[in-house]
Amino acid sequence: MMAKRNMIFGRAVGFGAEETTEYKVFKRFVEDASVNEIICLSKHKNPIIRGYVFLALRIIDKKEAGNLLPVLKKDEIWVDTNLHGCVPFPYKLKQFAEIMMNLTDDEILMYYKK
């Protein structure tokens, strides 16, 4: 369900700054999954899932996200993101991971709110 529209969504997108269905599933995933369960999905065949997995890990445990970063730095596949606002933006998965990793803990909360 997180990859339903083949895009990584943030918590407030569109003119109404609404939560998408995909984001709601992601939010529940972050709340319910253990770090080990999240890491197990890091090699998922769908790059959107891999992107959400990295974002979840970055939110929950920055150190573990850092351990996963070298793997994603090799991931050249393009993913579409719409982290906030109305305009989707494409990134290579490795770029997305590097950007998320370099955010401060306060900045990462722009993309996730309990």
Give me the pLDDT at residue 114, please. Answer: 60
Question: Tens digits of per-residue pLDDT, 26-84?
Answer: 999 999 999 999 999 999 999 999 999 999 999 999 999 999 999 999 999 999 998 87
DSSP 112: -
Residue span of the structural domain in which 53 resides? 8-108
Give me the pLDDT at residue 84, please. Answer: 78
Q: Is residue 46 part of a domain?
A: yes
Q: Is residue 1 part of a domain?
A: no
Number of domains making up the chain:
1
Number of alpha carbons in the 13 Å side-chain half-sphere of residue 52 = 29
Question: Tens digits of per-residue pLDDT, 75-93?
Answer: 999 999 988 778 888 999 9
Q: Is residue 15 part of a domain?
A: yes
Of 83, 113, 96, nearest to 13 by C-alpha is: 83
Q: Is residue 3 part of a domain?
A: no
Q: Is residue 36 part of a domain?
A: yes
Neighbouring-strand partners of residue 90? 80
pTM, two decimals, is: 0.91
Q: Which residues of 91-108 are buried (b: 16+ CB within 10 A; e: fewer)?
A: bbbbbbbeebbeeeeeeb
Q: Is residue 12 part of a domain?
A: yes
Q: Is residue 2 part of a domain?
A: no
Query: Is pLDDT larger for residue 11 or for residue 107?
Result: 107
In this prediction, residues 13-37 reach a mean pLDDT of: 88
**Residue count (the chain):** 114
Of 85, 96, 10, nearest to 47 by C-alpha is: 96
